Amino acid sequence: MPKIDILYDALYPGLSPEEKIAKIASHEFQFVETWMGGDAGALKSVGKACEKHGIKLVSIVMNFATDEAVAPIRPECLENFIERLDQYSDNALAAGCSTGIVTTGQSVGGKCYQDQRKALIKALRAGGEKVASKGFSLNLEPLNTEVDHPGYFLDNPQEAVSIVKEVGLDNVKILFDVYHMEIMRGNQTTFITSNIDYIGHFHAAGVPGRHELFNGETNYPFILDQIEKSGYGGYFGLEYMPILPSDESLEKTRKYLMG
């Protein structure tokens, strides 16, 4: 079974980091991830709470899709992008986390697709080399452009794999988000099992709506079974926006996925 981790940010609004982590631990989850990356102090607080409650922080976000100043598809942003990865990887490592999610940014109007793709490969290679010396890894995320991220540069997982292959670094892989790719293409398990060596992390949520996994069209227990049979031993992140109260949501989700 892949290691199930919980998006810390979406649950228990209003509680402190330690209170959130304690609640998540009470539902027998051992791993969390966060959208945070830039606030070193807040991230360290999460890391300390994780250590206290026997949980591991496994992933942060290095840049958001609309953060144009560090978009790796923009050649003029290369230096800013590398500086961002350097800073955020330090923040993450100080909190006990060694993996970060990279987004491409929004497509630049009037610019050639291939030029943006070349800039992305160059940035990922330079960034990957920069953080590799620290033992840090990057996961490039394709997103859906139909519902949540219109105009985003990378919405095809096969293209994401091709880009990662061209980057050619062991610490740069893709994040395969089942929610986003169900919207874009379907045929999930065939892609996953054929490309498992290039997948460094998974995300999941219910389709449609991005809510609890058990309320949607996607058969997540089947997908998890196929991932396990592929030999993947990494993390499967639950990046959903709960409709139910957090305790009820986590308990029903745990039973749905883990029995």
* Catalytic residue numbers, as ranges: 141, 239
Check: CB of residue 201 under 8 Å from CB of residue 1: no
Position 1 scores a pLDDT of 80
Q: Which contiguous run of DSSP H or E holds residue 134?
A: none
Q: Which residues contact 213 (CB under 8 A, 6 or more apart)?
A: 204, 205, 206, 220, 238, 240, 253, 256, 257
First-last CA distance in the chain: 12
Tally DSSP H helices, then E strands, for the chain: 9, 8
Position 186 scores a pLDDT of 84
Position 65 scores a pLDDT of 96
- Amino acid letter for position 87: Q
Distance CA 176, CA 2 (A): 13
Q: Which domains are assigned to the chain? A: 3-258 (3.20.20.150)
Position 222 scores a pLDDT of 96
Report the candidate in 91, 92, 88, 119 with the shortest Cα–Cα distance to residue 105: 119
Q: How confident is the prediction along the chain (259 residues), in pLDDT tens digits per residue? A: 899 999 999 999 999 999 999 999 999 999 999 999 999 999 999 999 999 999 999 999 999 999 999 999 999 999 999 999 999 999 999 999 999 999 999 999 989 999 999 999 999 999 999 999 999 999 999 999 999 999 999 999 999 999 999 999 999 999 999 999 999 998 899 999 999 999 999 999 999 999 999 999 999 999 999 999 999 999 999 999 999 999 999 999 999 998 7
Position 259 scores a pLDDT of 73
Report the candidate in 240, 203, 235 with the shortest Cα–Cα distance to residue 9: 240
